[in-house]
Amino acid sequence: MEKVIVGISGGVDSAVSAYLLKKQGYEVEGLFMRNWDATLNNDISGNPTLNHDICPQEQDYNDALELCNLLEIPLHRVDFIKEYWDYVFTYFLEELKKGRTPNPDLLCNKYIKFDLFKKEAKKLGANKIATGHYARLEGTKLLRGIDSNKDQTYFLAQLSSEQLKDVMFPIGHLTKPEVRTIAEEQNLNVAKKKDSTGICFIGERHYQKFIQNYLKPNPGNIINVETNEIIGTHNGLMNYTIGQRKNVGLSGDQKRHYVCGKNVEKNILYVAFGESNEFLISTECTLESVNLISTKNPSQCTAKFRYRGEDYPVKLEYLNNNEIKVSYPEGVKAVTPGQFCVLYLEEECIGSGIIKNVGKNGKKLWYLS
C-alpha cells in the first residue's frame, strides 16, 4: 500500500484531500506546517493586531488534529519558521524596498511546501505527498484545476518538473462547492470553515501597520505624472501598488485618480487622473527568474499577470540570463514589476517569471523606474 503524506492546513480543501485518498485505499498520514511565529504579528506599538483567545495558527492546528482524529489518521507537526523567514519573508521585504509588488506565495510553494515539506514527508516514509491545491497533474505536466474560479496553478508556477514528481492534487478535478458538499456529507469538522485570505504571514491584519514593524515609513512626494507638479505626500512607496485608486493620500477634493508609477531612487509616487487608464497600459514586459516547467518553448501562448487575472495572448522572445520578453500589442492594464507573469498553453501551465520591467511600444515606462 502506498503511503501518502497530506499537507493538513486546518482548512476544508486539505481535509477533503485526505478523506478522498483514504477512501481510495492509500495509507494516509497528515503533516501540519508552522511557517510563521504568530507572536511577531504585532502592530508598530507592539500591540497584537487581532483579538483572539487563541492564536489563529494554533486554532488551525487544533482543527487539523480534530480532523485527523475523525479520519483516524496520524498527524505530524513540523516548524519551518527560520526557513520561511530566510527564503520567503526576506525576499518579500527586499522586493518592497525596491518599490516592487511581490507575491511570496509562489516562493513559499517553491522553497517550503514542495521542497522542505516533501523532504520531511520522505523521512516519514512517504511514497508521495498531497496538498489541497486546485490543480491537476498528468505525469509532471501541470494542468489548471477544473474550477476556473479556484484554479491555483498560478501559485505553483515556480515549481520544477522534478518537484512535481510524486505529488498528488486530490481535489483538482472538483469544484469548490463539490468539496464543501463532500466535507458536509462526511461531517468533517472544517466543512463550513471560511477560506483563509491574504498573504499567509499577514492574514487579516492591517497591512501597513504590519509592514512598519520591518520597514520604516519613508514619506516622499506624490507627483502628477502629466504636469510634474507635487500634489501630495505619500507615507512610503511599499504601501502602494500600480493601479491603486483608494487610500492614495490625496485630499478629498481631488478628482478620480490612480497610482501609475514609482521612482525608488527619488522616492516619488506618480499619480494620474481621469478614467482612461492611459498610464496603466503597457504592451510588453521582461521576465526574470524564469522557471519553465515544460520542455516546450512556444513563441506564442497566453499569460496571467496576476492571480485570477484574465488570460492574455502573448508572444515570447527568449533572452540571455534566463529572461523572456513578453509582448502583448493590444495592451494590458497595470502590469506590475515584482509580480509574477504565469504562462499557459491552453490548460497546461508551462512556467513563470518575475516581471522585471514594463514598456510600451518599444520604450520602458519612465515612471516605473
Distance of CA 170 to the CA centre of its chain: 21
Task: Show the DSSP H helices in 11-152 as ranges.
Answer: 12-23, 56-71, 81-84, 90-97, 104-108, 117-123
Catalytic residue status for 285: no
Q: Which residue in the list 68, 108, 285, 349 is annotated as catalytic?
A: 108
| Site of grid cell 520522505 | 122
- Catalytic residue, from 55, 68, 200, 301: name it: 200
In sequence order, the 6+-apart residues with CB closer than 8 A to the CB of 112 are 33, 35, 80, 83, 84, 87, 88
What DSSP line would sit under 48-73, residue for residue? BSS--SS-HHHHHHHHHHHHHHHHT-
Q: What angle (nearest 5°) sits at the alpha carbon of residue 84, between those of residues 78 and 89?
A: 155
Please calculate the CA angle 316-289-34 and round it to the nearest 5 degrees.
130
Q: Which three cell numbers stand for residue 56?
A: 489563529
Q: What does the alpha-carbon distance between residue 329 and residue 362 come to, in Å, rounded to a whole number?
A: 10
Question: C-alpha cell of 361?
Answer: 511600444
260 catalytic? Reply is no
d(CA 20, CA 7): 14
Q: Which three cell numbers stand for residue 105?
A: 506565495
- Which residue numbers are catalytic? 108, 200
